[in-house]
Amino acid sequence: MNFLKALAIFLGTIIGVGIFGLPFVASKSGFWVVVGYFVVMAIATIAMNLIYGSVIMGTEKIHRLPGYVQEYLGFKWKRFSFLVVALGITGSLLAYLIIGGQFLFSCLSPFLGGNIFLYTLLFFSAGSFLVLRGIKSISAVELILLGVLLVILGLFFVEAFPYINIDNFKTINLEYLILPYGIILFSLGGGSVIPELKEILGNKPKMLKAVIISGILITVMIYLLFIYVIQGASVVVSEDAISGLGSVLGEDVIKLGFLFGVIACFTSFLTLALTLKKVLWYDFKFNKNIAWFLTCFIPLGLFLLGFRKFIDVISFTGAIFFGVEGIILILLYKKYLKIKLSKEMNPLFYLLFGVLILGIILSIFFFR
């Protein structure tokens, strides 16, 4: 039972806003390019989560990543790792603002009018107010939404299957070969919840390993099915994945998709914002209200400055900040092995280290 609970929480953490960007990326670079990326990135993500799990299981106290980094790499590395994690969360919050505002606009504008900018501000106002009030964790709601997502995905598949065009999967565009990297890395991010998995499972490394591997593989299968349905049935794949199906599936099904998108984005926005607020408040001793202000208003400021391209935001956040976080995990694991077990790290992790650095460099040039 604990295994299923841990698996459900892990899946609920991984599957988030990234899923909505995947069909668009696949339509740009090619379906089979994305499949190839998923094979490689799934292996890399499993490896990074497993080494993080090893550190967590081998350490008596339960921390977050900056805490483990301080224990094994020192205080300066803790500050750097916190900066990386905070910037990654900020990028994620910005992505939720962008796509959440679009979904809210699609749901309510037919009845209330207005533009996307106003609905984004409404989304932000509601979310930041609840973060200020300190609403408790809503992980249970996220798990329910995971079930809703699977139901909607099944409905989309049933409704869209007669319209799937195999020709939509034949194109490969090398111009966008780098584009999927950051978005797929972003969409597979869920390692932050591994400390909680230890609390659920106890000191059972084999069970944690099973949760991590099965969780990533299930996620990849869900993502590929979602991409297959959306890309196969859409004449033009939209950046939010859902609106492009309107002419095929009808307004009722699409409205259900938009409604799910609003709820999923809103709950995930709250979860991430509460996490960053508490880290600033408890771990770095910021005033509670200042911690709230920095958490919520920096993403809003970026949005107001014009950072409003959903695909660019999640791609950059995934490639740069999640990539650097992966590099920190490898360095952390190397030090952990030396201190705790007097062992050397498997040389294959140096290859993964190089892949992450290469991904960061190529992504920087891609977004120039």
Look up the CATH number of the domain holding residue 302: 1.20.1740.10
Is residue 187 a part of any domain in this protein? yes
> Is the Cβ–Cβ distance between 150 and 282 less than 8 Å?
no
State the pLDDT at residue 212.
Answer: 96
Which one-letter DSSP state was computed for residue 347?
T
pLDDT in tens, 308-365: 999 999 999 999 999 999 999 999 999 999 999 889 999 999 999 999 999 999 888 8
Q: Mark residue 134 as left, alpha or beta (left: phi above 0; alpha: psi -120 to 50; beta: remaining).
A: left
Which one-letter DSSP state was computed for residue 58?
T
State the pLDDT at residue 347.
Answer: 92
Which residues of the chain are under the pLDDT cut of 70?
A: 136-142, 246-248, 367-368
Is residue 251 a part of any domain in this protein? no
pLDDT in tens, 76-117: 999 999 999 999 999 999 999 999 999 999 999 888 888 999
Distance CA 103, CA 271 (A): 19
> Is the Cβ–Cβ distance between 8 and 146 less than 8 Å?
yes
Q: Which of 24, 40, 71, 100 is nearest to 303 (CA)?
A: 100
- pTM of the predicted structure, to 2 decimals: 0.90
Is residue 230 a part of any domain in this protein? yes
Q: Which domain holds residue 227?
A: 2-90+136-245+275-366
Distance CA 364, CA 19 (A): 22
Q: Which of 11, 1, 3 is nearest to 209 (CA)?
A: 3
Buried b (16+ CB within 10 A) or exposed e, 51-77: bbbbbbbebeeebbbbbbbbbbbeeeb
Is residue 192 a part of any domain in this protein? yes
State the pLDDT at residue 193.
Answer: 84
Give the length of the chain.
368
Is residue 298 a part of any domain in this protein? yes
User: Cβ neighbours of residue 62 under 8 Å, at least 6 residues apart?
Assistant: 56, 195, 198, 199
Q: How many structural domains compose the chain?
A: 1
State the pLDDT at residue 138.
Answer: 63
State the pLDDT at residue 309.
Answer: 92
Is residue 40 a part of any domain in this protein? yes
Is residue 116 a part of any domain in this protein? no
Is residue 270 a part of any domain in this protein? no
Distances (CA, A) of 140 to 2, 144, 194, 259, 291: 15, 6, 16, 18, 25
